[in-house]
Amino acid sequence: MKHTIKLISINLFIICLFIGTIELCGQLIFYIVKGYPVYSSIHRRLFELHPYLVGRPKNNVAVTHGNKIITSTGEHTRNTGKPFSDNTIKVAVLGGSTTFGTGLSDLDTWPALLQSTLGENYSVINYGVPGYSTVEAIIQLALIVPETKPDFVVMYEGWNDIRNYHDTNLGSDYLSHGMMQYKSLQVPVWTGHTIFERLSEISAIMHFIDKRLDHRTDRRFASGGMDSRDPDPYVDRLYERNLNTMKILVKNMHAYALFVPQILNYSDFKGKTGSRVWTPHIEDDAMPALLDKFNGKMCAVCRENDGDCAVLKEVTVEHWEADDFVDDGHFSRKGGNKFAHMIANRIQQTAKQYTYHPQKLIHHKAHNNT
């Protein structure tokens, strides 16, 4: 009996030593490749828990990732290159990861390029956060954005809403989308995480396994016949509802609402089968047509006689090239610069119809925007 216990103990020790060695090697390799430990990912360093939004940027943090610099402001927003000032025309921008500037340094994001294009008489505030949809935008517009008294509110929405197509667990309050955000933003909270997911945030071995599983599910519907090429009327209705709510909230803060349809790297989707982790129920090749129809919902949110609401429809007819993006939908500096100039032109044209006074734009006369 003693011999058996001793043998088992030795074997357990050897197994633990083997696993520990692999873990240490994995942590070392991860650090060499990424430049930071597994337990200290970019998102964990950037974002903190928020009771309504799942997560938000931390206050005044700076994170270096390779040659990229990501900094936040005292208002829990991403740096756009110019301090906020009340004595300027204020532009609030809302959206998800493309607005936040995933994969880019601070001054290469389109909100920062918008700030640079508009100049010193404007202050651009970047409220974008990876994964944020129209539901998070509603919360921001109701509770956060009004405090800065913006003159213009630019809303770039679509990708994080269409991802909900054919999600049977969605719910009218975007429940499943919100729960997914805990893992997406990697905020330090147990809610919505399995033990496996939590371990993958601190263990190199579990992180590797989790990534391999994500890779396997990247095309998990390709052979199961569950990809869809059809619109989802339920999500369409919720999206329209949310856009109209956003319009009302912007109107209530006496700001000008500028909606911007979603742009993706269509060349990365066309001709491909299967689906992606971010849009798990949508056939890749169907995404361009489905998103065009989805954008149509936004294009209808502002009426022709609305003097304080417009949709920047020209982005949908602009010629976008593959190098305008760093991946399937996030802008490169080149694409972001083109995008920012289109928004800046609309803002500047609209601002000419107003007289600016500190903290307020006073309308010259009734006007239409098409």
pLDDT in tens, 230-267: 999 999 999 999 999 999 999 999 999 999 999 999 99
Bridge partners of 125, per DSSP, are 92
Name the band, by pLDDT with cuts 50, 70 and 90, for residue 50: very high
Amino acid 368: pLDDT: 41
The neighbouring-strand residues paired with 124 are 91
Question: Residues 171-192: what's their mean pLDDT?
Answer: 82
Cα separation, 163 vs 75, whole angstroms: 29
Query: How crowded is residue 202: how many other Cβ atoms within 10 Å of its Cβ?
Result: 15
Mean pLDDT of the region 128-149: 97
Is residue 22 included in any domain, yes or no? no
In a domain, 234, yes or no: yes
Handedness of CA 102, 106, 108, 109 (dihedral sign): positive
Most confidently modeled range among 28-37, 137-146, 191-200, 350-359: 137-146
In the predicted structure, residue 120 carries a pLDDT above the cut 90 = yes
Out of 287-296, 303-312, 327-336, 354-363, which region has the weakest mean confidence (pLDDT)?
Answer: 354-363
Residue with tokens 């609030």: 92
176 occurs within a structural domain: no
Q: How many residues does the chain have?
A: 370
User: Using 50, 70 and 90 to split pLDDT, how confident is the model at 6?
Assistant: confident
Q: Kindly state the average pLDDT of the residues 336-361.
A: 84
Give the helix/strand (H/E) hosting 123: strand 122-126
Highest mean pLDDT among 41-55, 75-89, 324-338: 324-338
What is the predicted pLDDT for the residue at 199? 61
**291 part of a folded domain:** yes
Instruction: Tell whether the model's pLDDT for residue 52 goes beyond 50.
Output: yes
Q: Would the CA dihedral through 319, 321, 327, 331 be positive or negative?
A: negative
Decide if 60 is inside a domain: no
The percentage of residues in the chain with a pLDDT greater than 70, rounded to a whole number, is 81
Give the model's pLDDT for residue 227.
67
Highest mean pLDDT of the ranges 41-50, 206-215, 231-240, 358-367: 231-240
pLDDT beyond 60 at 4: yes
Range of lowest pLDDT (38-42, 70-74, 179-183, 213-217): 213-217
Exposed/middle/buried for residue 84 (C-beta within 10 Å: 0-12, 13-18, 19+): middle
- How much is the CA Rg of the chain, to the nearest whole Å? 23
Distance of CA 277 to the CA centre of its chain: 15
pLDDT at 254: 94
Residue 355 has pLDDT above 90, yes or no: no
Instruction: Supply the range of the domain harboring residue 341.
Output: 76-171+222-363
Quote the distance between the C-alpha of residue 50 and its chain's center: 16
CA distance 167 to 145: 30
Residue showing tokens 């071995």: 205
Name which of 283, 350, 277, 272 is nearest 312 in CA terms. Answer: 350
Angle in degrees, 0-180, between the axes of helices 287-299 and 233-252, rounded to the nearest 10: 40
What residues contact residue 286 under an 8 Å CB cut-off, 6+ apart? 227, 228, 229
Residue 23 scores a pLDDT above 80: no
Contact 310, 258 (CB under 8 A): yes
Average pLDDT, the chain: 86
Q: Is residue 43 part of a domain?
A: no
Q: What is the pLDDT of residue 197?
A: 61
Is residue 360 pLDDT above 80, yes or no? no
- Whether residue 3 has pLDDT greater than 70: yes
The pLDDT assigned to 353 comes to: 82
* Banded pLDDT at 53 (limits 50, 70, 90): very high
Average confidence (pLDDT) over 13-17: 82
Q: Give pLDDT, residue 18.
A: 77
In a domain, 308, yes or no: yes
Residue 260, pLDDT score: 98
pLDDT in tens, 270-288: 999 899 989 999 999 999 9
Q: Environment class of residue 220 by beta-carbon count within 10 Å: exposed (0-12), middle (13-18) or buried (19+)? A: middle
Q: Tell me how many domains the chain contains.
A: 1
Say whether pLDDT at 83 is over 50: yes
Report the candidate in 295, 289, 333, 301 with the shortest Cα–Cα distance to residue 316. Answer: 295
In a domain, 155, yes or no: yes
- Domain holding 257: CATH number? 3.40.50.1110
Beta-strand relationship, 152-156 and 122-126: unpaired
Two structure tokens written together for 188: 């330090």
3-state secondary structure of 136: helix
Taking residues 4-26, report their average pLDDT. 78
Q: Are 181 and 171 in contact (CB under 8 A)?
A: no
Whole-angstrom distance, CA of residue 190 vs CA of residue 66: 29
Tokens for 215, please give them. 């890779």
Q: What is the pTM of this model?
A: 0.82
What CA–CA distance (Å, rounded) separates 134 from 131?
10
Q: How much is the pLDDT for 198?
A: 60
Residue 211, pLDDT > 90, answer: no
Round to whole Å and give the CA distance between 55 and 45.
Answer: 12
Instruction: Name, in order, each residue with C-beta under 8 angstroms of 277's C-beta and a sequence gap of 6 or more.
Output: 214, 217, 218
259, 141 Cβ separation under 8 angstroms: no
- Mean pLDDT to the nearest integer, 84-97: 94
- The token duo for 237 is 């209705």
| Torsion angle of C-alpha atoms 283, 288, 292, 295, degrees rounded to 10 | 80
